[in-house]
Amino acid sequence: MGLIQREVEKAGISTISVSLARKLTEETRVPRAVFVNWPMGHPLGEPFNVKTQMAVLKSAFKAIETIKEPGVIIDLPYRWKQPEDLIDG
């Protein structure tokens, strides 16, 4: 995803990643990202939890405006409420 983001950014369009794998996001050096420590496949949160999903989206859009330097990753404060064993690491 980082390679695609960098090319889109070259065209003057701002991008943001919602990351579930912080180390991978750091290594691919995306232009900007937000990180949530949730299970793979759930970048916006738990199924049917519209309130949290909207909060993640709003935080990601806000990060597009606030991140001024490439490579910045903002850790979002949201927590997964289902059993901890679903979270990978």
Question: What's the rounded mean pLDDT across residues 20-27?
Answer: 94
Structural domains in the chain (count): 1
pTM for the structure as a whole: 0.84
The 3-state DSSP class for residue 12 equals: coil
Q: Residue 84's pLDDT is what?
A: 55
Structure token digits, residue 7: 């090319």
Q: 24 lies in which domain range?
A: 2-86
Predicted local distance difference test score (pLDDT) of residue 89: 45
**pLDDT tens digits for range 40-86:** 999 999 999 999 999 999 999 999 999 999 899 999 999 888 665 55
State how far the Cα of 47 lies from the Cα of 32, in Å rounded to an integer.
25
Q: Determine contact, residues 49/78, Cβ cutoff 8 Å.
A: no
